[in-house]
Homo-oligomer: A and B are copies of this chain.
Amino acid sequence: MKIAVLPGDGIGPEVTAQAVKVLQALNNNGLKIEMEHAAIGGAGYDAAGDPLPEATLNLARQADAILLGAVGGYQYDTLPRPMRPEQGLLRIRKELNLFANLRPATLYPELADASTLKPEVVAGLDLMIVRELTGDLYFGQPRGIQVNEAGEREGYNTMRYAESEVRRVAHIGFQIAMKRGRKLCSVEKANVLETSELWRAVVIETARQYPEVALSHMYVDNAAMQLVRNPRQFDVILTGNIFGDILSDEASMLTGSIGMLGSASLDENRKGMYEPIHGSAPDIAGKDIANPLATILSAAMMMRYTFGHDGVADRIENAVKKVISQGLRTADIYTPGTTRVGCAAMGDAVLAAL
Which residues of A, 221-273, contact B by the 8 Å Cβ criterion?
A: 221-222, 224-230, 242-243, 245-250, 252-254, 258
Are B249 and A222 in contact (CB-based, < 8 A)? yes
Are B194 and A145 in contact (CB-based, < 8 A)? yes
Q: Is the interface of A mostly helix, strand, loop or mixed?
A: helix
A140 to B159 Cα, complex, angstroms:
10
A176 partner residues in chain B, CB cutoff 8 A: none
A195 partner residues in chain B, CB cutoff 8 A: 155-157
- Decide yes or no whether A199 CB sits under 8 A from chain B: yes
Number of interface residues of A (CB under 8 A): 62
Are A86 and B191 in contact (CB-based, < 8 A)? yes
- Decide yes or no whether A84 CB sits under 8 A from chain B: yes
A116 partner residues in chain B, CB cutoff 8 A: 117-118, 121, 228-230
- A269 → chain B, closest Cβ, in Å? 21
Are A137 and B159 in contact (CB-based, < 8 A)? yes
- Decide yes or no whether A154 CB sits under 8 A from chain B: yes
A69 to B92 Cα, complex, angstroms:
48
- Decide yes or no whether A143 CB sits under 8 A from chain B: yes
Are A159 and B162 in contact (CB-based, < 8 A)? no
Are A225 and B242 in contact (CB-based, < 8 A)? no
A155 partner residues in chain B, CB cutoff 8 A: 160-161, 193-199
Q: Nearest chain-B residue to A161 (Cβ)?
A: B155
Please judge, given known A-B contacts A221-B246, A229-B253, whether A156 and B144 are in contact too, CB under 8 Å.
no
Are B118 and A198 in contact (CB-based, < 8 A)? no
A90 partner residues in chain B, CB cutoff 8 A: 192
Q: Nearest chain-B residue to A154 (Cβ)?
A: B162
Are A221 and B249 in contact (CB-based, < 8 A)? yes
Are A159 and B158 in contact (CB-based, < 8 A)? yes
